[in-house]
Amino acid sequence: FVMRLSKSALPLLLAAVSAQQTCYRLDGSEASSEFTPCNPGAKVSACCHLNKDVPDICLSSGLCLSQQPGYEGLIYSNGCTDQTGKDSACPQPCANIIENSKSVTAYNVLPCAPGRQFCCRAFGDNSNCCDEIVTVAIGSVMTAASATLASTSTATGGDISGTVSTAKPTTIFCANSTDASALETCPKDNSVVVGGAVGGALGALLLGSLGIIMLLLLRRTKGILTHLIS
């Protein structure tokens, strides 16, 4: 009897889980199946481009760090599992974008100064947004899945390649912010840090990847292509 009850309840349970995992863009429209929750066990979760060969890296801020060839290092938001986008788990670093979210499906977070000041612009907008600077706590790596770092030349001429895998948040870098949650994320001295929870070779690899990420971000300040596959 118990087994029959479990089997009959299974489709309903799967349907409930599926419904909870639906991702929505900023305008409330349903995102493609390639976008999945960063934290599927949570009631509400930010969504990133995870269901593909080269998945994004989820950040604790709810933003996504693209690893897609041609877009490596691009930080953006595509929405969350709350269709209204108002839940605290949804990425909300840019007030000007959120206020106009009904006409915006997703947006990029672009650097205006090394590691400190950013601006936000909607996908498809190629204008310079640095006249509307915001301070953003980019956050920490939240994915427990392996994030493969492509072999990339560094300023010293060396190559960094390897795989990062951690289930605990590891801060990549922070920006000054007046937002309370952001202040909890960033250290008081506003320095660029790598979480101490990751030690040894992993810590060294993350330090190297930090330089790569910042270099990629700065290269995309001007003329970056803003349309991701969706």
More confident residue, 115 or 185: 115
Give the SS3 label for residue 209: helix
Spell out the domain ranges in the chain: 23-219
For the ranges 96-105, 162-171, 214-223, which has the lowest average pLDDT? 162-171
CB contact burial 98-118 (16+ within 10 A = b; e otherwise): beebeebbbbbbbbbeebbeb
For the ranges 1-5, 26-30, 92-96, 164-168, which has the lowest average pLDDT? 164-168
Confidence of residue 46 (pLDDT cuts 50, 70, 90): very high
**pTM score, whole prediction:** 0.56
| Residue 146, C-beta contacts closer than 8 angstroms, at least 6 positions apart | 163, 164, 165
More confident residue, 130 or 201: 130
For the ranges 31-45, 62-76, 87-101, 151-165, which has the lowest average pLDDT? 151-165
Q: Among the ranges 121-125, 150-154, 183-187, 203-207, which has the highest mean pLDDT value?
A: 121-125
The pLDDT of residue 29 is 92
Judged against a pLDDT cut of 90, whether residue 143 lies above it is answered with no
Give the SS3 label for residue 1: coil
